[in-house]
């Protein structure tokens, strides 16, 4: 294994924390939705479109994405305050990766589900 590969897989590699954020399913959905909509979205819009996400999980995903510079958060001085989330340039770039994952997932979902079924239905002596 070359030196770069060893560094990438090392527990001390800085890319591991970035990958951890991008590998979070809610982060993937947020990035994908913001990329698809091509406009800033409010928290309630994000939550309405991303079925199954809890308020806590969405809040954490948004904070992590903002912290990593992938989305921006804009607060408007209204009553009640209006907050919108948008992709940054870095987030748009990451969105190409997340879109590729989503496309692959849609194209191969039936194959993955078939493999799961085969695995789950095999005899116990083959497990």
The 10 Å CB-count burial string (b at 16+, else e) for 11-29 is: eeeeeeeeeebbebebbbb
Locate 99 and state its tokens.
């879109």
Q: What is the pTM of this model?
A: 0.81
pLDDT in tens, 82-114: 999 999 999 999 988 888 888 899 999 999 999
Name the CATH architecture for the domain at 3-122. Answer: Orthogonal Bundle (1.10)
Write down the pLDDT at residue 4: 55
Segments making up each domain of the chain, as ranges: 3-122
For range 15-28, the mean pLDDT = 85
State the average pLDDT for the chain.
89
């Amino acid at each position: 294994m070359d030196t770069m590969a060893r560094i990438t897989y090392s527990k001390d590699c800085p890319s591991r924390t970035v990958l951890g954020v991008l590998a979070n399913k809610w982060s993937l959905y947020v990035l994908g939705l913001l990329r698809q909509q091509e406009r800033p979205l409010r928290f309630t819009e994000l939550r309405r479109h991303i079925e199954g996400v809890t308020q806590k999980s969405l809040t954490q995903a948004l904070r992590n994405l903002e912290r990593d510079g992938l989305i921006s958060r804009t607060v408007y001085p209204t009553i009640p305050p209006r907050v919108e989330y948008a992709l940054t340039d870095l987030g748009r770039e990451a969105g190409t990766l997340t879109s590729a994952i989503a496309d692959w997932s849609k194209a191969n979902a039936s194959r993955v589900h078939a493999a799961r079924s085969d695995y789950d239905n095999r005899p116990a002596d083959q497990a």
